[in-house]
Amino acid sequence: MSSLSVFLSIAAALSIGAMSPGPSFVMVSRIAVSRSRIDGLAAALGMGLGGVVFSILALAGLTALLSQFEWLYLALKVAGGIYLIYIAFRIWRGASDPLDMGETALGTRAVGRSFMSAFLTQISNPKTIVVYASIFAALLPQSIPIGLIVAIPIGVFAVEAGWYTIVAYAFSARHPRRVYLSAKAWIDRLAGTVMAGLGLQLVISGLRGR
């Protein structure tokens, strides 16, 4: 199989994973609908960078270390789950607060906050690196060409950031924003509940050693 075929196969597999609903989708969609399209795009870039970090770690063989020291992997799962629950608590607590429309204005601090929130949400789930490593192990040749090593993180960024850019554009459109503003409290509570459920699932699986 040529390097191009391998790259396209990996990109296709990662695209399916990126489109699966999860905390990243909840975070980007909420940022886009509650703040601005620019914030949503910043969040998409944060997701892309998080994917690059995990892809580099997977290529570097960190998964072998996590497999050897299972307690470290489980500790990361618990820590990531606790972070998601913390984010869920903040979303729920602010559900009844009126939306500060000034927050939607372009500003380095607001956009940077959106970027970091998405990035931290992306890397809070260590299962992602296992998924990446599984796909790489299944599709990469035993001897990996240097060009492929360089291309894979770039491809991961394109897949993750590209998908969440679509999400950001969709949820920052006029109609979704109007719906959100009319039912902010209920939508935020639903988003917080979903995020908390995902975080709790991560914590429980870590404590059970699975």
Encode pLDDT of 94-136 as tens digits.
777 765 544 444 556 688 999 999 999 898 877 787 788 778 8
pLDDT of residue 107: 56
pLDDT of residue 99: 59
pLDDT of residue 51: 93
Distance CA(17)–CA(76), nearest Å, equals 20
Q: Average of pLDDT values for 3-18?
A: 88
Q: What pTM was computed for the model?
A: 0.79
Quick: pLDDT tens for 164-192. Answer: 999 999 998 988 878 877 787 888 888 88
Instruction: Pull the structure tokens for residue 56.
Output: 């580099």
For residue 38, the enclosing domain spans 3-207
The domain tally of the chain equals 1
Distance CA(32)–CA(39), nearest Å, equals 6
